[in-house]
Structure 1
Amino acid sequence: MSLMISVSGIRGVVGKSLTPENLTAFTMAFATWVKRRKQALNPGSQSKPKIVIGRDSRPTGGVITGLVSNTLALCGCDVVDVGMTTTPTVEIATAGEGADGGLIVTASHNPVEWNALKMLNEKGEFMNASDVEELLAIVEKGSFDSARWDEIGSLTANGSWDAVHIERILKLSCLDRDLIKSMNFRVLIDAVEGAGSFIVPELCRKLGITEIKTLACEGTGIFPRNPEPVEQNLRQTMEILARESCDLGIIVDPDADRLALVCQDGTLFGEEYTLVACADFYLKHHKGPVVNNLSSSRALRDIARKHEVECFSAKVGEANVTEVMKEKGAAIGGEGNGGVILPELHYGRDALAGIALFIQAFAEWKSETGGTLSGFRKTFPDYFMSKKKVELEKLTKEALGTIFDTVAANHPEAECNRLDGLKLDFAAGWAHLRPSNTEPIVRIYTEASTQEEADALAASFIEEIATVAASLTEG
C-alpha cells in the first residue's frame, strides 16, 4: 500500500506506508515550505517560524507527534503542542497563536492502524493544490532547510485551546442557552474513543444540555467499531440510543470534523442532512450564499431557495469547498459527509459548531411543536442517495476522459458538469461519477426521490461505464 498524498496532507498505515523515514521527510519539507512562505509574506522577518501541532487519540499519535515536533525544532521552527484535540481546534489554535502553519496527527475516519499528517497554512486552513505541488517538489529534490545548533526551535505546550474553541462557539449570537436548557434534553454522545471524547460532552454541558450519556468517550484511541460515522457502522449506537430513551444522539469521527445525528427512535437523521439542518437555521440569522460539493444532496439547494440565497457546488474536498465559500462570500457551507463549515468561526469542517447550531435549531422547533427529532427531520426536503463504485483496471486518464465524454453524450437531457469527474443533473435526480485519486475505481453517487430510484440510477451507470470501458479495451 502506497502513501496517500492530498491537499489535506499525507496518510498511510503506520509501519508500512507511513514510516519514520517519510514522516521525517515530509515534516522537513513542511518546515521548509513554511519558512519560505513566511519570508514571502513577511520579507526580511528574522523571527523563527511558529508551528502548532495537535493529535487525535490514536495509540501512535504520541510518538509521531514527538518525532514530528523534534524534527520541526531541528529545522529551526518554534513548536506549540496543543495536545490531544480535534482537527477544528488545531485549526483555530493555528490562527489564534499567530503561527505560520499547523500540523494535525490524525487519520480522521481511517482505522486505528492508520495515521497521517494534516497540513495547515498560517490561517489554519488546508494547503491548496499549488501549495501541495511546492511541498512535493521540496520532497522530490530533498532541498530541506535545517538549522544550526544555536538556531534550533523551542518546544512548548498549550492545552488551553479546547476551552477557547468552546467559548467561541458559545459566543455565537444565534445561540440561546436558556432555551436549550429548558428543553431538558437527554443526549447520547459517541466519540468512538477519539479526540472528541472530552470536548464534545463539555460543549454539550456548556450549551445547557441537562442529561448526557456517553459512549466510547474515554479517549483511548482504540476504536470499538469502524470509526467512519456512516449508518452501517452505527447500528449498535442507534440501538443503544433508542433503548436509553434519548432525545437525540451525537456521533463524531476520531478527529471531530464530521457530525452524525440519531433520532429518538434509533433512526439516523442522515449525514447529508447535518449541513442542511444547520444551514436552514443559520440562514435565518445570517443571509448569504451556501456552498456544498458536487456529491452533496439537492436538499441544500432547496433550502437556499427557501431563504432566497444562492447555492454553489465545489469539487469534492474541504479545501475546494472553502475556496468557493471565500470566493462567493458564503454564510455557511460544508460537505454531505456531516461536515459543517462556519466562516464566522473559521474555514474548516467543525463538528462542534455543527452540534451547537443543530441543537439550537431543534430546540426552537421543539419549543413550538413539542415534536421529536424524527418529526424535525420530516420538515426537510426528502431525497435518497446511493453510493457505489466500479473497478477500472489499466485505464489511462485519457481513456477515462473518453468514457466520461461518451456517457455525457448518451444523456443530452441532463445538465453536464465536468468540474470534478462527470456530474449529470436530471429533472428528477442526478449522478456524479468521480475517479478515485488512490485506487483504480470510479465512485458513483446518485440521488433521487426514492432509494429504489437512486439504486437503479447507480446500477444503470455502472453498467454503462463497464460497457464503454469494454469497447475501448476491445478497440
Structure 2
Amino acid sequence: MTLIKSISGIRGTIGGQVGDNLTPIDAVKFASAYGTWIKQQRNKENYRVVVGRDARISGEMIQSLVMNTLVGLGIHVIDLGLSTTPTVEVAVPLEHADGGIILTASHNPKQWNALKLLNAKGEFLNAAEGQKILDIADSDAMDFADVDSLGKITVNDAYIDIHIDEVLKLQYVNAKAIADCNFKVVVDGVNSTGGIAIPRLLERLGVEAVELYCEPNGHFPHNPEPLKEHLTDLSEMVVKEHADFGIVVDPDVDRLAFMDETGEMFGEEYTLVACADYVLSQEKGNTVSNMSSSRALRDVTEKHGATYQASAVGEVNVVEMMKQNKAIIGGEGNGGIIYPELHYGRDSLVGVALFLSLLAEKKMNVSALRASYPSYFMSKKKIQLTPSLDVDGILKAMEAKYANEDITTIDGVKIDFAENWVHLRKSNTEPIIRIYTEAKSQEIADNLANKIISEIKEIANI
C-alpha cells in the first residue's frame, strides 16, 4: 500500500495510514493545495474547477471530499459526476474554468484512486506546476474562505453527450460513411465510465454495440489494464457475436485497444498507428509518441512524407513536443490518442471515431488492416522496487554497459539497436522499473527483455 506523488497526480490505495495511502485526510490536503495553487494563478473574484470521476468504488467518497474542500476555499465546482478523463479535459475550457480534477487511478486495480490535476486549458500540469502543489501541501499554507465566501457546487451530467457532440463535429470523422457500413462492435467497459460513453458514441455513429461489462459499478471483472491476457471474455464475445471487432478501454477511458474479428488483439501499440494513418491520409502533418512506443508510428508517418519524433514518457511530455513540432496527431503506445483538433489529451472517444472512419474508408476487415502495417512485437515487463534498490545507479550501470550503442537518457535509458530497442525507466504511477523491448518477432523481444532483466538483477544483486 502506498501513496505516489508525481506529475501524473496524487495516487494511492484507499485506507491505511495518513501519508502512506490515499486516506480522506490526504485527499483533503492535496485538494487544498491544488485549490490554493489555482487561486495563485490569477487574482479574480470567482474561481471555477470542473470535477469528474470514474466508477471506482471509492470514487463517490473521494469526490465528495475533494469538491467540498474546494468549496471551503471559496471555489465554485462544476460536478460532472460519473465521467471520463477526456470528458473533463473537454469540459474545462468549455466551462471557462480555472482547472479540473479527475478522480481516477486509470488502469490500477480497484483499491487505488487518484487526483489527476488539470490547468485552465484542460491539460495536465507540467512538472514545475506539480511541484508547486506538492510544496504548498508540505507547507500547509492554505487560506480558507469565510462563511460568506464559500463556493457552490453545480451539477452538470450532460458532458459525456457534449463530448460526443464535439467528436462528431470533427472534420475527419465521417459519420455517414460509418453508418453506411452497419458495423457491429463488442464493447468491454470494464464496469466503469467507458460503459456509458463508448456505447453512447457508437449509437450516435449508427454502430450496433454489444455491451460487455458496461455497468459502471466499479467492480472490475478483470485486471483493468487493456492487455491481451485480461481480455479472454471479449475475445470469445467478438467471435460468438460475429462482430466486426471489439473495443476495450481502461476505467477512465483514455486508453483504447481493439480486437479483430477473429478475437485476436489488434495491438494497443497499433491503435495510434491506425488513427495516425487515417489522419495523415487526409492531411499532411507531423506525429509524436513517447520513446516507449512502437517504431511503427515512425514508419507510417514517413510513408506519408511527414516527420516523427519521440518524447519522454508521460502525457504532458508528449503534448509539449506535439506543440513544439505542430504535430496533428500523437499519443502513447498504450492506446492513448491525442488529437489536438479537439484537445490535447488522450481520448478514446476520438480514437474510436477515427478508427471507424478509417475502416469505413478502406472497406477492409480489422485483421487485414493490421496486416497492412509494419510488423513489430513488444515485450513489456517490470521489476518490483524495494527501498534498498538504487534505481539511478542501476540505470547508470546499464547506460555504461551499452555505451557503444545509440543511447537516449532524457527518460531513463533507451538503447536503440539496429533491429530492436529496449527502454528502461522508473514508473511514475507504480513502484516498479519498466522494461520495454521491441523487435521483429515476439521471441526476440521477449528474449531481449529477459536478458536485460538478468543483467539488472546481476548489477543489483537481486
Q: Shared topology, TM-score over 0.5? A: yes
Indicate which of 444, 456, 462 corresponds to 1:465. Answer: 456
2:110 is paired with a residue whose SS is coil
Query: In the alignment, what sits opposite 1:302?
Result: 299
2:32 is paired with a residue whose SS is helix
Whole-Å separation in 2 of the counterparts to 1:277 and 1:439? 29
Whole-Å separation in 2 of the counterparts to 1:176 and 1:334? 21
2:64 is paired with a residue whose SS is helix
Q: How large is the RMSD of aligned CA atoms in angstroms?
A: 1.5
Please tell me whether the aligned partners of residues 89 and 162 of structure 1 are also in contact (alpha carbons under 8 angstroms): yes
Offset at residue 440 of structure 1 (A): 6.2
The structure-2 alpha-carbon separation of the partners of 1:333 and 1:140, relative to structure 1 and needing over 3 Å to count, comes to same
Please tell me whether the aligned partners of residues 121 and 127 of structure 1 are also in contact (alpha carbons under 8 angstroms): yes
Say whether 1:20 aligns with 2:33.
no
TM-score (norm 1): 0.93
Offset at residue 150 of structure 1 (A): 1.0
Task: In structure 1, give the amino acid aligned to 2:10.
Answer: I
Whole-Å separation in 2 of the counterparts to 1:129 and 1:19? 24
Please tell me whether the aligned partners of residues 249 and 262 of structure 1 are also in contact (alpha carbons under 8 angstroms): yes
Q: Which ranges of structure 1 fall in alignment gaps of 5 or more residues?
A: 40-44
CA displacement 1:21-69 (0-9 Å, x = unmatched): 1111001101100000123xxxxx3x22111101111222112211111
Task: In structure 2, give the amino acid aligned to 1:148.
Answer: D
Say whether 1:326 aligns with 2:323.
yes
Task: In structure 1, give the amino acid aligned to 2:116.
Answer: K
Task: In structure 2, give the amino acid aligned to 1:404.
Answer: M
Query: In the alignment, what sits opposite 1:339?
Result: 336
Which range moves more in the overlay, 270-279 or 429-438?
A: 429-438
Query: In the alignment, what sits opposite 2:277?
Result: 280
Whole-Å separation in 2 of the counterparts to 1:385 and 1:18? 33
The structure-2 alpha-carbon separation of the partners of 1:238 and 1:9, relative to structure 1 and needing over 3 Å to count, comes to same
Say whether 1:420 aligns with 2:411.
yes
The structure-2 alpha-carbon separation of the partners of 1:391 and 1:30, relative to structure 1 and needing over 3 Å to count, comes to closer
CA displacement 1:202-247 (0-9 Å, x = unmatched): 11111121x2211111212211111111111111111111111100
Whole-Å separation in 2 of the counterparts to 1:467 and 1:221? 41
Offset at residue 431 of structure 1 (A): 0.8
Indicate which of 377, 381, 385 corresponds to 1:388. Answer: 381
Which range moves more in the overlay, 87-96 or 63-72?
A: 63-72
Say whether 1:436 aligns with 2:427.
yes
Query: In the alignment, what sits opposite 1:118?
Result: 116
Please tell me whether the aligned partners of residues 423 and 436 of structure 2 are also in contact (alpha carbons under 8 angstroms): yes
Query: In the alignment, what sits opposite 2:102?
Result: 104
Task: In structure 1, give the amino acid aligned to 2:356.
Answer: I
Indicate which of 150, 153, 156 corresponds to 2:151. Answer: 153
CA displacement 1:142-186 (0-9 Å, x = unmatched): 111211111111111112211211111111111222211221111
2:101 is paired with a residue whose SS is strand
CA displacement 1:78-120 (0-9 Å, x = unmatched): 1110111111000110111000010111111111222111111
Query: In the alignment, what sits opposite 1:170?
Result: 168
Whole-Å separation in 2 of the counterparts to 1:95 and 1:264? 38
Offset at residue 463 of structure 1 (A): 2.5
The structure-2 alpha-carbon separation of the partners of 1:395 and 1:28, relative to structure 1 and needing over 3 Å to count, comes to same
Please tell me whether the aligned partners of residues 403 and 469 of structure 1 are also in contact (alpha carbons under 8 angstroms): no
1:347 is paired with a residue whose SS is coil
The structure-2 alpha-carbon separation of the partners of 1:31 and 1:406, relative to structure 1 and needing over 3 Å to count, comes to same
1:192 is paired with a residue whose SS is coil
2:225 is paired with a residue whose SS is coil
2:285 is paired with a residue whose SS is coil
Query: In the alignment, what sits opposite 1:42?
Result: none
1:189 is paired with a residue whose SS is strand
The structure-2 alpha-carbon separation of the partners of 1:339 and 1:127, relative to structure 1 and needing over 3 Å to count, comes to same
Task: In structure 1, give the amino acid aligned to 2:371.
Answer: K
Whole-Å separation in 1 of the counterparts to 2:107 and 2:261? 25
Task: In structure 2, give the amino acid aligned to 1:29.
Answer: A
The structure-2 alpha-carbon separation of the partners of 1:91 and 1:111, relative to structure 1 and needing over 3 Å to count, comes to same
Whole-Å separation in 1 of the counterparts to 2:2 and 2:459? 29
Query: In the alignment, what sits opposite 2:346?
Result: 349
Query: In the alignment, what sits opposite 2:4?
Result: 4
The structure-2 alpha-carbon separation of the partners of 1:327 and 1:245, relative to structure 1 and needing over 3 Å to count, comes to same
Please tell me whether the aligned partners of residues 4 and 430 of structure 2 are also in contact (alpha carbons under 8 angstroms): no
Offset at residue 269 of structure 1 (A): 0.4
1:95 is paired with a residue whose SS is helix
Task: In structure 2, give the amino acid aligned to 1:415.
Answer: D
Say whether 1:293 aligns with 2:297.
no
TM-score (norm 2): 0.96
Please tell me whether the aligned partners of residues 406 and 468 of structure 1 are also in contact (alpha carbons under 8 angstroms): no
Query: In the alignment, what sits opposite 1:93?
Result: 91
Query: In the alignment, what sits opposite 2:397?
Result: 403
The structure-2 alpha-carbon separation of the partners of 1:390 and 1:173, relative to structure 1 and needing over 3 Å to count, comes to same
Say whether 1:225 aligns with 2:222.
yes
Q: Which ranges of structure 2 fall in alignment gaps of 5 or more residues?
A: none
Provide runs of 4+ in structure 1 moved above 6 Å: none
The structure-2 alpha-carbon separation of the partners of 1:184 and 1:407, relative to structure 1 and needing over 3 Å to count, comes to same
Which range moves more in the overlay, 341-350 or 285-294?
A: 285-294
Offset at residue 405 of structure 1 (A): 3.0
Query: In the alignment, what sits opposite 1:33?
Result: 37
Query: In the alignment, what sits opposite 2:439?
Result: 448
1:284 is paired with a residue whose SS is helix
Offset at residue 8 of structure 1 (A): 2.4
Whole-Å separation in 2 of the counterparts to 1:460 and 1:433? 13
Size of the alignment, in residue pairs?
457
Offset at residue 309 of structure 1 (A): 1.0
Whole-Å separation in 1 of the counterparts to 2:396 and 2:322? 31
Task: In structure 2, give the amino acid aligned to 1:26.
Answer: F
The structure-2 alpha-carbon separation of the partners of 1:160 and 1:421, relative to structure 1 and needing over 3 Å to count, comes to same
Please tell me whether the aligned partners of residues 30 and 135 of structure 1 are also in contact (alpha carbons under 8 angstroms): yes
Please tell me whether the aligned partners of residues 54 and 252 of structure 2 are also in contact (alpha carbons under 8 angstroms): yes
Whole-Å separation in 2 of the counterparts to 1:333 and 1:173? 17
The structure-2 alpha-carbon separation of the partners of 1:148 and 1:431, relative to structure 1 and needing over 3 Å to count, comes to same
Query: In the alignment, what sits opposite 1:254?
Result: 251
Whole-Å separation in 2 of the counterparts to 1:254 and 1:140? 30
The structure-2 alpha-carbon separation of the partners of 1:431 and 1:397, relative to structure 1 and needing over 3 Å to count, comes to closer
Task: In structure 2, give the amino acid aligned to 1:448.
Answer: A
Whole-Å separation in 2 of the counterparts to 1:390 and 1:31? 36
1:331 is paired with a residue whose SS is strand
Please tell me whether the aligned partners of residues 31 and 145 of structure 1 are also in contact (alpha carbons under 8 angstroms): no
Task: In structure 1, give the amino acid aligned to 2:9.
Answer: G
Percentage of identical aligned residues: 48
1:71 is paired with a residue whose SS is helix
